[in-house]
Structure 1
Amino acid sequence: MSAGQESRVHGSPAQDGTTFEALRTQLQEAATAFADGPDALEGILLGIVDDVDRAVREPLEVFPVCHHSPASAVAMARRLREKQPKVVYLELCEDMAPLLTELRNCRLPVAVQAFASEVDGFPAEWAPLSVVAPITEASAEYQAIAYALDTPGVELVLVDRSSDHVFQWQADDGAQSPGEPADPDAPPAEEEAALHGDAVGVEIGDLRPRFAELEEHLLHHGRVRHWSEWWHQYVELPLGDSDHDTYRQVMLLIGSLFRRLAPGDPARVRVDEDRERHMWTRMRRHLAASGTDPAECLYVCGAFHAASRVAEFGVHGADTFEISPPSASTWQYGLIPSSHAAIEAQFGLAAGSVSIAATQWAKNLKRTRIRPFRLDGQAGTKKAAKPRKAVAAAAAPDSPSDRAADMLSGFLRRPPVLDPLDEAELLGWSVEIVRAARRSGYLASTADAIAVFETSILLAGMRDRAKPTPYDFQDAAITCIEKDSVPGRRDVRRLVEIMMGGDRIGRVGYDALPPLARDVHDRLAPIGLKLQQRGVQRALLDMASRPELEKCSDVLWMLRHLMPPGTARPIMGERRLGERPIQESWDLALGTHQRALIELGYEGVSIEQVLEQRLRRTAYGPQATTATVLQAVEDATLHLRSRRLADELGTRALEVLATERSVDGAPEVLQRVRRLLAHYRTSEPALPAWIESFVKTGYAHYCTLLPTAFTDEDATVRQVGAMLGFLFSMESLALSLGCDRTQLELAFAQSHPQEPAKLALLWAAEVHLGRLSRTELRARCDELLGNPLVVPAYPRYLSGFLHALEPVPQLADFVVEAVSNAFARLPDPVLLPWLPTLITTLRSGGAESVPLLIREAGRIFPGRLTALDAWVPPWLEQTSPAALPRARGRAAALLTAHPQTCDAVAALLGCDAAWSGPAPAPSGAALIARHPDTARALEALLAAR
């Protein structure tokens, strides 16, 4: 054992508590001078020094970092090359370790994700569970990962709580659901900012004051707008090129300060301390199992956790913490693309701060000449040179007395270093922002560039800065360039962010994708597009000339069903039951929605499997309705072409229908059953058993609910019309399967609606059943128009007739007549307010009936404008006194020409009179006299011809 190692174990001058004695004395005197009493402030200040001293004297070196801090990344790279530890303990979820090797196949930034779609042991409304840990190149954790994975003989051990424990402890604290936003009134996030979705973010070094008054005080006296700017000005810049001891002690000081001034939230304090107990317990167990010397290890954690005061802290801490077992939830792991904007949105950072940090990281590397660590083959980065072997003096571990030297006293007494103004850099910024503003439509000129340059220097001087920061430059650019309005889609603030590095968006490489995502890319390869590229790409599929593209079409339609909107959007072509595609055109954005495709891979190994699982989940879910289950049946038939699954889900639809007690889904049920029946009748030799049972059950079910629906205020006219459409269109099939028509007759006998629209719907249904003639229906409508008390409600009757076209389409001519009479006879105060209702009714619920009405109106109304003045509506001709003899004469001539038809109809109606002579005048006249409506109908038919 070396002398340095022996001093760590058996004691050193640093362990006698004298290393920071001078600093303790100064702080004690300051507390006595500036506070009312020495107790409160002295306890905080001296406690901070004790925290720093304790962490510095720990045999296992504690390396405090801040999340995505260039200063932390530079200090980490420098320390790794100096110390060359054999074991790196990293504050990251321990179950994410197998994914870190796949980082070399990605382009940073990306996020390591743990995902659980089916939960066991957590509230069901939390599903799906998702935890992400974003990683950028300008972060200390990436430097540690790259060093450990590419250096032979080095072991990387993740020691933080697992993803399962993240939600276990959240449930114990009674926290809100992970997917529930903290602010329901918050505006929706942009596409890049939503790359992480509703995932819970895990970061190394959540170093920010939890005491709101403290943060407000720092921002006010620092003359900055937000926390990211304060950190950049007062921490990043001073520590960017500091030595290791100064960096470590300052970060420990900040972590201890924020920790001691944090509000005493018991739940949050318990979670923080449990994380620290968990990490130290894992490290001690690993040291005991591997026999590694703590002096050859490095513990990378957030500065907030480095200044811990739990009893388990340190190699010689107490072993009293019990790690609870994970829940029964099944977790999947993968890498998802991330971006600077997504990291800023998830962790509450200022917009553009991560991009500025990346720029600062590049500057620090150039200024300090430190070679960073990069994974071999890392996409989007230059190949790093192999690190040189350290000399013998550097390989020996430092003694604790050297590491524990008091660097804080000198750092805190040292005046701020005035970085000289880099005029060339500032001038380049000013010229570039004017050029970018011109491209975005601003009327910027060279004078604006000069104004931005001078204003940046002016703002920096007003804020006691010798050199303008990127935030000063951003304020100056907004002041000088952005006037009253933004001519393009990007404002000056966004242009500055892009100029400083932009929102870099990561990408997961093909080799790091889950099997489902790779399968999708392989099956879409015949299209010939770069599917991993971000943005929208147009794909043209001509299945007539290239039949192999039909399989690509199948994949695209399934992706459209499973993926978020915009991933696969059909421009030309549609998929219907019983039809085969010929040509299609698609807009694809798989690269933009790569995260959703990766999460899809957590649910299965193929998109067919995932689609089947989701259809079953929808059909057997607690919120399943008959309409949703029938939609699942249609999707299974359309996309999977699975008769087995369709029959299973159809049986489930029959079960759900039998338990429903409302008619909310009747319109959708009617449409889907009609489509499925038409498909099975044309493609199958016989109807499936489930759909026959569905028609029988549905007929009895809707007959039972019909009287209640007519009087229920919650049941709309469209829903009742859909019920009648089901009963009338399925009646022949239902009767052939054994249903009794008496059920329908009893249902109508018990129906007594009071609402005008439903009453009109009932009249139309009675016409279809033969319980009411058209003459009687027309007389009722005339009576309504003639009653001044009922005239204001007449449009509601017309709405009922419009919805009646669904169950009784043969009433189209009568609906045209009723609407025409309304326009002719209703007063303007009644007619004009009703017109918007008519339009919305036709647009929302009568889209399928509009062509029928237009076709019928085209048949009835004259085709030329000149014929309109002499035109008489057919319904007025039928009611004129001369109409009946003329109708009888035409009907007699028609019956004479077709005596067999007349004999058949006479026999059906019970007329036994025989023909006398060649002309059937007596029997025809008798038939016309008994049935004048038939004569009028024939006359109208002949007139139309």
Structure 2
Amino acid sequence: MRGCTSHSAIEAQFGLAPGSVSIAAATWTKALKRSGLTPYRLDAQRGTRTRGRGGRGIAAPATGLPDRLSGFLAAPPELNGLDETELRGWCVDIVRLARRNGYLASTADAIAVYETSILLAGLRSRTRPTPYDFADAAVTCIEKDVVPGRRDVRRLCEILLGGDRVGQVGYEALPPLARDVLERLRPLGLDLEKRTIQRALLDLHADSRLAPCSDLLWMLRYLLPHDALRPIMGERRLGHRSIQESWDVALGRNQRALIELGYEGVTVEQVLEQRLRRVVRGAQATAAGALAAIEDAIRLLDSPRLVDELGARAVELLAAERTVDDAPNVLRRIRRLLAHYRATATALPAWCEAFVAAGYTHYCTLLPSAFVDEQAGVRQVGAMLGFLFSMENLALSLGCDRTQLELAVAQAHPEAPAKVALHWSARHQLGLLPLAELRARCADLLANPLVVPIFPRYLSGFVQALDSVPGLASFVVELMSTAFAQLPDPILLPWLPTLINTLREHGSELVPLLIREAANTFPGTLPALDTWVPPWATTTPAPAPPVVPAGPVVGLLTDHPDSVDAIAALLGCSNPWRRHDQRAGTEVAALLTQHPDSAVAVADLLSARSRIAPSRQD
């Protein structure tokens, strides 16, 4: 068994400040050297063995030696002042190390570090500079602008003052979790105790024994530092598992992290469950973080019990939130989870339905205030509307009331241009604002010279609304094309950078949808663009209804009045039927002229008679 002498591991285990053990060891060594004392060593450290009964031995006390320990322990500590020799040696050595690592340090920097260390110790009410004062002084005086190499000055100070002594623990001395990990990864055929990076190739389709190894590697990837395990090929996401994977494994050089992982539990699964519960139960827990923990539980553990527990906590966190900062993350993650369950399960879990119902009510409540709140951005409000409109059918089936959404939109009175565009889009989606009226409002904005400079903000609001109202994609293309066509260059060119930056900041993920819609609208070749007419520029009048001549139609109705009389009786009309030669001819002609569709259909069916002419006749 090899011993572990890692100072940083001891500091992490007992909660000490970084460097405490190394500083204490250096101080102890210096005190022994100054006082001329010899530390007491055990027999095993001396390399001698004492045999006794049962294999145990007791060292015989030395005789004739003076008792100097009692006096040393009883005496008060000496008040040592500034050790100029020690501090001067530190300053010279740190400058030497800095020059080796690419810093332009000189003797003047050594003098500056020396004086600054004394100054910092005095400011901190210390009689002599400590290694912490020296490290701060070295960083201040030597690390001027950038780090020229891989190591900064603080790391050089750690190396100078002792740093971390790293050892290696044998298999028998490892905690149960670490031994379990090594045993479960044995099918990989690697020497996991080596400190080199090793490549592991997993063909899960050909060798079924490697599937548990793959699951364990992904769990360790979540728990250990990123340089311990690095996937080269393959991924693990919701509903997808790769059939071939390739990993860079460096567990030997990260043995400390693996041992510290053993302090948290007996198995990797237990530690992972504890960490996921800690994520959703912490003081800084959010609904988006809880949904992320649910995704990790599904990907890594596949434990329905744990997922239900985390989901119930996610519902509580969402109902308790008073801001909408995490609305985009919540929307993205719940959509992904819903798609996963709809593809893999026969029904949605109870926590998922409760989350959608609670989110619908929660966002409806916060929507009016979010529209006028300056702290709530356009992305957050757009994500709220995306949640409400995309989850509306599911929420209504779970008992939510659509009137709540209509009232929330009606109570919102935004002033910011982007939020005004979002509000118009929401009203259009609810059927309260027809597309013709929306087009007229945007035309008024383009015609107003005071609004034109901030018109890109309206466009960013409409682009952000594409997530909740995707049917507006063609209208947004029309709006942007109209703006580029109508605005003169002195007005158009100044706000082009504003438009680009606004779209990049607020709607970068929605711009591809806009580009696809524009590709479907505009012609595909350059010559066709010269003769192309935009579909919104063609003002085609509404087709006039065909005029039915009174003669044949009125004659047909009066010759066979039975069906008309039956309909009149059902409608409660008691007036007698009048023939066309009476005064009803003009009235019937006017009625058929206004509503000619049924008459034209009847005439088409009666092929024996002449077709009704489509031109209007008096």
- TM-score band, normalised by shorter chain: 0.5 to 0.7
Structure 1 position 649 matched with structure 2 position 333: no
Structure 1 position 216 matched with structure 2 position 113: no
Distance 1:780 1:819 in 2: 14
1:834 to 471, 493, 499: 499
Any unmatched runs of 5+ in structure 2?
30-37, 51-55, 60-76, 97-120, 139-145, 547-594, 606-618
1:569 to 206, 230, 233: 230
Distance 2:189 2:223 in 1: 22
Deviation sequence 1:855-886 (CA, Å, 0-9, x none): 21221122222322222222223xx3xx2358
Match of 1:113 in 2: 10
Relative to structure 1, the CA distance from residue 759 to residue 486 in structure 2 (aligned partners, 3 Å threshold; closer, same or farther) is closer
CA contact (8 A) 2:235 2:241 kept: no
Distance 2:523 2:472 in 1: 20
Distance 2:47 2:497 in 1: 77
Relative to structure 1, the CA distance from residue 218 to residue 842 in structure 2 (aligned partners, 3 Å threshold; closer, same or farther) is same
How does 1:14-93 map onto structure 2 within 5 Å?
none
Please state whether the residue corresponding to 1:539 is helix, strand or coil.
Answer: strand
Question: Which residue identity is paired with 2:306?
Answer: L
How does 1:346-495 map onto structure 2 within 5 Å?
none
Question: Which residue identity is paired with 2:601?
Answer: G
Relative to structure 1, the CA distance from residue 147 to residue 795 in structure 2 (aligned partners, 3 Å threshold; closer, same or farther) is same
Relative to structure 1, the CA distance from residue 506 to residue 738 in structure 2 (aligned partners, 3 Å threshold; closer, same or farther) is same
How does 1:157-172 map onto structure 2 within 5 Å?
none
Please state whether the residue corresponding to 1:832 is helix, strand or coil.
Answer: helix
How does 1:121-136 map onto structure 2 within 5 Å?
none
Question: Which residue identity is paired with 2:218?
Answer: W
Distance 2:264 2:273 in 1: 11
- TM-score if structure 2 supplies the norm length? 0.67
1:884 to 524, 541, 565: 541
Question: Which residue identity is paired with 1:658?
Answer: A
1:151 to 49, 54, 66: 49
Deviation sequence 1:420-477 (CA, Å, 0-9, x none): xxxxxxxxxxxxxxxxxxxxxxxxxxxxxxxxxxxxxxxxxxxxxxxxxxxxxxxxxx
Distance 1:621 1:135 in 2: 37
Shift of the alpha carbon at 1:529?
3.1
Deviates more, 1:850-859 or 1:503-512: 503-512
Structure 1 position 759 matched with structure 2 position 442: no
Distance 1:529 1:753 in 2: 63
CA contact (8 A) 1:113 1:131 kept: no
2:294 to 633, 637, 643: 633
Distance 2:544 2:223 in 1: 62
Relative to structure 1, the CA distance from residue 507 to residue 784 in structure 2 (aligned partners, 3 Å threshold; closer, same or farther) is same
Distance 1:919 1:346 in 2: 103
Relative to structure 1, the CA distance from residue 227 to residue 584 in structure 2 (aligned partners, 3 Å threshold; closer, same or farther) is closer
CA contact (8 A) 1:695 1:733 kept: yes
CA contact (8 A) 1:566 1:589 kept: yes
Distance 2:57 2:95 in 1: 34
How does 1:487-566 map onto structure 2 within 5 Å?
505-566=166-227
Shift of the alpha carbon at 1:720?
0.8
Shift of the alpha carbon at 1:584?
2.4
Deviation sequence 1:393-444 (CA, Å, 0-9, x none): xxxxxxxxxxxxxxxxxxxxxxxxxxxxxxxxxxxxxxxxxxxxxxxxxxxx
Shift of the alpha carbon at 1:673?
1.5
Relative to structure 1, the CA distance from residue 150 to residue 748 in structure 2 (aligned partners, 3 Å threshold; closer, same or farther) is farther
Question: Which residue identity is paired with 2:83?
Answer: E
Match of 2:466 in 1: 805
Distance 1:487 1:514 in 2: 40
Shift of the alpha carbon at 1:524?
2.2
Deviates more, 1:770-779 or 1:743-752: 770-779
Relative to structure 1, the CA distance from residue 623 to residue 155 in structure 2 (aligned partners, 3 Å threshold; closer, same or farther) is farther
Shift of the alpha carbon at 1:761?
0.7
Distance 1:919 1:540 in 2: 77
Distance 2:301 2:527 in 1: 57
Question: Which residue identity is paired with 1:836?
Answer: N
Relative to structure 1, the CA distance from residue 675 to residue 223 in structure 2 (aligned partners, 3 Å threshold; closer, same or farther) is closer
Distance 2:602 2:17 in 1: 84
2:600 to 881, 896, 916: 916
Relative to structure 1, the CA distance from residue 508 to residue 699 in structure 2 (aligned partners, 3 Å threshold; closer, same or farther) is same
Please state whether the residue corresponding to 1:872 is helix, strand or coil.
Answer: coil
Relative to structure 1, the CA distance from residue 668 to residue 488 in structure 2 (aligned partners, 3 Å threshold; closer, same or farther) is closer
Question: Which residue identity is paired with 2:351?
Answer: W
How does 1:295-314 map onto structure 2 within 5 Å?
none
CA contact (8 A) 2:7 2:164 kept: no
Distance 2:90 2:411 in 1: 79
Shift of the alpha carbon at 1:726?
1.0
Please state whether the residue corresponding to 1:541 is helix, strand or coil.
Answer: strand
For the aligned residue pairs, the C-alpha RMSD in angstroms reads: 4.5
Question: Which residue identity is paired with 2:369?
Answer: T
CA contact (8 A) 1:228 1:349 kept: no
Distance 1:806 1:733 in 2: 17
Deviation sequence 1:105-127 (CA, Å, 0-9, x none): 2476666637669xxxxxxxx79
CA contact (8 A) 1:113 1:130 kept: no
Deviation sequence 1:647-696 (CA, Å, 0-9, x none): 11111111122222111111111122112222222322322222222221
Match of 2:452 in 1: 791
CA contact (8 A) 2:324 2:380 kept: yes
1:774 to 429, 432, 435: 435
CA contact (8 A) 2:2 2:168 kept: no
Please state whether the residue corresponding to 1:836 is helix, strand or coil.
Answer: helix
Q: Paired residues, what number?
A: 482
1:816 to 477, 482, 495: 477
Please state whether the residue corresponding to 2:265 is helix, strand or coil.
Answer: coil
Please state whether the residue corresponding to 1:540 is helix, strand or coil.
Answer: strand
Deviates more, 1:796-805 or 1:531-540: 531-540
How does 1:276-355 map onto structure 2 within 5 Å?
none
Deviation sequence 1:59-113 (CA, Å, 0-9, x none): xxxxxxxxxxxxxxxxxxxxxxxxxxxxxxxxxxxxxxxxxxxxx4247666663
Distance 1:111 1:664 in 2: 38
Please state whether the residue corresponding to 2:600 is helix, strand or coil.
Answer: coil
CA contact (8 A) 1:112 1:132 kept: no
Distance 1:832 1:763 in 2: 25
Question: Which residue identity is paired with 1:828?
Answer: L
How does 1:565-714 map onto structure 2 within 5 Å?
565-714=226-375
Relative to structure 1, the CA distance from residue 800 to residue 833 in structure 2 (aligned partners, 3 Å threshold; closer, same or farther) is closer
Distance 2:4 2:411 in 1: 71
Match of 2:591 in 1: none
CA contact (8 A) 2:229 2:250 kept: yes
Distance 2:177 2:39 in 1: 29
Relative to structure 1, the CA distance from residue 130 to residue 884 in structure 2 (aligned partners, 3 Å threshold; closer, same or farther) is farther
Relative to structure 1, the CA distance from residue 710 to residue 107 in structure 2 (aligned partners, 3 Å threshold; closer, same or farther) is closer
Any unmatched runs of 5+ in structure 1?
1-103, 118-125, 157-206, 230-261, 270-343, 352-484, 890-910, 922-945
Relative to structure 1, the CA distance from residue 108 to residue 599 in structure 2 (aligned partners, 3 Å threshold; closer, same or farther) is closer
* Percentage of matched positions with identical amino acids: 56
Distance 1:703 1:654 in 2: 16
Shift of the alpha carbon at 1:155?
6.8
Deviation sequence 1:798-827 (CA, Å, 0-9, x none): 111111111112222222223333444352
Distance 1:686 1:537 in 2: 43
Distance 1:507 1:749 in 2: 68
- TM-score if structure 1 supplies the norm length? 0.45
